[in-house]
Chain A
Amino acid sequence: MHEARLIGFRTLLYKEVLRFWKVGFQTVAAPVLNALLFLLIFSHVLDRHVTVYGDVAYTAFLVPGLVMMSLLQNAFANSSSSLIQSKITGNIIFVLLPPLSYREFYAAYVIASMLRGLFVGCGVLLVSFPFVDLPIAAPAWVLVFALIGGAILGSLGVIAGIWADKFDQLAGFQNFLIMPLTMLSGVFYSIHSLPQMWQDVSHINPFFFMIDGFRYGFFGQSDVSPWLSLGVVSVCFVLLAVLTLAMLARGYKLRA
């Protein structure tokens, strides 16, 4: 019996992974190329002029930010696009008819999103090797923030994919929430270089803590303590997970 449940869950996870892997050129290679272009342009323009945390070259500072940004955006894209496509084409019923629980449903979609995020993140890290000399001071922090960040955006993607009835609603969610929050999170700069007001604003943006904590794993220093970041990020994840699970349990927009 439990064996059967495990197979059900694993099949949904496998299907969700296969779905992006089959079009990996678009879902993994394209975002890696995107990040590489950012890296080339920004580092060329700024590398000689800017250092961060005293002596960290700008390009080195930038890479973890780009890795995390790509990871987060792709984790979101995975669950949200899969769900809205299934809803619009109607094939969502194939996962609603089987004996899968809403928890298994949630876990499969979020873990697949995390995996896509990790693939893209690793890709960005790999292509940046020739350009920067990047230390990894505390790999455990890197991994922890990559996982929780992916899970948060994967959950947000589930929420957005279920809530949106049309692709442009989803695009709105992405353009007016996800993009600004990532762009203003310190991907491209240390918030200490900002005026005080903008520093304060950054501190209410959970994405800031994801990226700052992630960066700590590389340099061993960051704008705020990694423990604070871990706390904020964990609370965010728990709140989102509870919200998403509540939506799924009610069958919101999935079971009429």
Chain B
Amino acid sequence: MTCPALRIVSATKRYGTLQALAGVDLEVAQGEFFGLLGPNGAGKTTLISALSGLVRPDGGIFEVMGHNVVTDYRNARRKLGVVPQELVFDPFFSVRELLRIQSGYFGIRGNDDWIDEILANLDLTAKAGANMRMLSGGMKRRVLVAQALVHRPPVIVLDEPTAGVDVELRQGLWQFIRKLNRDGHTIVLTTHYLEEAEALCGRIAMLKAGRVVALDTTENLLRRFASHALRVRLERPENASALGATLSDSGWAEFALERYEDVEPALARLREAGGRILEMRLGEADLERVFVEVMNRA
């Protein structure tokens, strides 16, 4: 029997009066590409920090590859690579020095072959000798990824790794992360780019105010929260909610539909209500809509 890559049971954490984690249960199987989504302040970083020992939870169990992160922290930390959300770096060292030192902390010496491979995959080879201070934000971000990988952790957690990284580099980074996933690494990702999450993650948990409010495969989430959307721009958009549509910020009313056959009844309702349609589109559901819907319901 293989253990889950991550197991979190009834995790709670309070900062003063603020309940950052209000009882989170989560299991991620080995080899998954898992998304952890939620608005700012939902508790994603707190959850990751508790998992990596940076934060002491008030309650709950945290395990990485079956190792308890408190009682068996050495093994738990060896199995875990964390790319932190904040762009932090040590200004005293060059990229290569930093990666060698980080390897050493994990008890690994003579790690240059693997370090070279990471650098090449992250397009940092030319910067290996550069001091950290001389790197751009996007490069520093990739060094953070490299630092998280020096000990070849089976579980890799990335906390908003693409914030501030331009499109081209983002593509390169995802290619590399996908390759790691294919090679058997479990990936957990938080991101604000929902289209990235949709494209990459097999399963997704949505967090709000320290609680898991949705947890399913990406496919099921997209299906469960209506697979199609009829979007119309109405002459009098204020009628939209009375007709069972949701009104988006941009002024479009949206009908969530299970099947294409549902288009007709929706239009009929509009006609009966005397709503005049200025523009109309039929689209597939995307994660962004699912996200908004989940957050509104929760």
Task: Give the B-binding residues of A (Cβ under 8 A).
Answer: 3-8, 10-12, 14-15, 18-19, 22, 86, 89-91, 93-101, 251, 255-256
Closest to A82 in B: B92
Query: In the complex, what's the smallest C-beta–C-beta distance from B142 to chain A, in angstroms?
Result: 16
Contact indicator B86/A8 (Cβ below 8 Å)? no
Instruction: Scan B92-112; emit 1 where CB is below 8 A from any A CB, else 0.
Output: 110000000111111111000
Q: Is B280 an interface residue (CB 8 A)?
A: no
Q: Are B56 and A7 in contact (CB under 8 A)?
A: no
Say yes or no: A98 contacts B105, CB within 8 Å.
Answer: yes
- Residues of B that sit less than 8 Å from A by CB: 15, 49, 52-56, 73-75, 77-78, 80, 82, 84, 86, 88-93, 101-109, 147
Max chain B CB contacts within 10 Å: which of A4, A15, A99?
Answer: A99
Residues in chain A near residue B15, CB distance under 8 A: 256
Task: Provide the residues of chain A in CB contact with B109, threshold 8 Å.
Answer: 7
Chain A residues whose C-beta falls within 8 Å of the C-beta of B147 in the assembled complex: 94
Q: List 20 A-B contacts (CB under 8 A).
A: A6-B107, A7-B104, A8-B104, A8-B106, A12-B104, A22-B92, A89-B88, A89-B89, A90-B88, A96-B53, A96-B54, A97-B53, A98-B106, A99-B107, A100-B105, A255-B53, A255-B55, A255-B56, A256-B49, A256-B55
Contact of A256 with B56 in the complex, beta carbons under 8 Å? yes
Besides A97-B52, A255-B55, 9 other A-B contacts (C-beta < 8 A): A4-B108, A12-B104, A14-B104, A89-B90, A90-B86, A94-B90, A94-B105, A96-B54, A99-B75
Q: Do B82 and A11 touch across chains, with their CB atoms under 8 A apart?
A: no
When chains A and B are docked, how far (Å) is the Cα of A100 from the Cα of B73? Answer: 9
Q: Is the CB of A251 within 8 A of B56?
A: yes
Chain B residues positioned under 8 Å from A15 (CB to CB): 101, 104
Check B88 against A8 for contact (C-beta < 8 Å).
no
Q: How far is the CA of A98 from the CA of B54 in the complex (A)?
A: 11
Contact assessment for A99 and B73 in the assembled complex, using a CB-CB cutoff below 8 Å = yes
A18 to B75, CA, bound (A): 28
Given contacts A7-B108, A255-B55, contact A19 B88 (CB under 8 A): no
A101 to B105, CA, bound (A): 11
User: Could you tell me if B77 and A10 are in contact, using CB atoms closer than 8 angstroms?
Assistant: no
Assembly CA distance A86 to B75 (angstroms): 25
| B90 contacts A91, C-beta separation under 8 Å | yes
Residues of B within 8 A of A86 (CB): 90
Report the bound CA distance from A90 to B54 in whole Å.
12
Q: How far is the CA of A97 from the CA of B80 in the complex (A)?
A: 9
* B262 nearest CB across to chain A (Å): 49
Would you call A99 and B56 a contact (CB within 8 A)? Answer: no
Docked-complex contact B54 and A255, CB < 8 angstroms: yes
> In the complex where A22-B92, A90-B86, A91-B89 touch, is A5 in contact with B107 (Cβ < 8 A)?
yes
Q: Which residues in B have their C-beta under 8 angstroms from that of A251?
A: 56
**B87 to A, closest residue via Cβ:** A90
- Contact status A98-B102, CB under 8 Å: yes
10 closest A-B pairs by beta carbon, nearest first, are: A4-B107, A11-B104, A98-B105, A90-B88, A99-B74, A99-B77, A91-B90, A7-B107, A91-B88, A256-B55
Indicate whether A3 sits within 8 Å of B84 (C-beta atoms), given known contacts A256-B54, A256-B56: no
